[in-house]
Structure 1
């Protein structure tokens, strides 16, 4: 049975490092948005391009699962709804879903972000103090129920199912 590994956490938590390791260990396709955004657009958050790219990557992830290939989705997935949608989509394809949540304290996060920018500026992007604070304020940390993978909640009011919600969240998914 194929598995979709979903990396969850803030910048500097070690998601991409762990995603690379998991991809190697499980023969998985690794989909890291930053690996595409910078070469394609030279930036990360310009004009909604990240959402468009993530939607196509999610579509590709489901195609890979159908073909019998494990996938590592490395977006960060700050919201519970994003994580629920991806879990539901993977399980609807008959795949296993494994959330990999990496927590990071303030000091470690800032140190890792500064190191990444100093050593590999062509592979990353600058994060300001305001960016870090914004992330910490908006990140919905997974709780014990979500981490236990004990099912997916219903989609938010107004959405028929998680596939429809995902198409609304990531414009290029549907």
Structure 2
């Protein structure tokens, strides 16, 4: 069965490293916005363009799944609603959804971010202490049900497709 692997976690958790491994193991298309943001825009969050890029990547991921190609989506997906919407969209295509959650403690996160900046600054974005703390405060850790493969939430009024189109403007 065609599978979409969704990488979930904070910066420095090892998502992209694991995404590369999964893509190699499964012959999957890997979609990582960070690989595109610097070459296209020179920064991580230029005027909301990341949401636009993620929307097109999500659309592409679903097109690939329809064609029988496994996909690794490496967005981080900090919110339960994002993860629930993607799960629903994938399962609506009769494909398998696998969430790969990589937790990371604060000390390890800071060390990995510092190492990445020191060794690959041209391939990454600077992160301040404020960025790290803000991310940790906003991240909604997957609960037991979500980790067991059950949707975290029911669809909002209008449904998950409409929610996704609002969250990622270029998805629709």
TM over 0.5: yes
2:161 maps to which of 150, 160, 163: 163
Written as runs of structure 1 = structure 2, the 5 A alignment for 1:116-131 is 116-131=116-131
Q: Which residue of 2 aligns with 1:115?
A: 115
SS of equivalent residue, structure 1 residue 98: strand
Q: Which residue of 2 aligns with 1:60?
A: 60
Q: Which runs of 4+ in 1 moved over 4 A?
A: none
1:80-103 deviation per Cα after TM superposition (whole angstroms, max 9, x unaligned): 000000000000011000000000
SS of equivalent residue, structure 1 residue 74: strand
Q: Unpaired runs of 5+ in structure 1?
A: none
Number of residue-to-residue matches in the alignment? 172
CA distance in 2, matches of 1:129, 1:9: 17
SS of equivalent residue, structure 2 residue 47: helix
Distance 1:45 1:75, change over 3 A: same
Residue 153 of structure 1: how far off its partner (Å): 2.6
Q: What is the aligned-residue RMSD (CA, Å)?
A: 0.8
SS of equivalent residue, structure 2 residue 142: coil
For the Cα contact (< 8 Å) 2:80–2:152, is it kept in 1? Answer: no
SS of equivalent residue, structure 2 residue 68: coil
Q: Unpaired runs of 5+ in structure 2?
A: none
For the Cα contact (< 8 Å) 1:88–1:152, is it kept in 2? Answer: no
Residue 155 of structure 1: how far off its partner (Å): 2.2
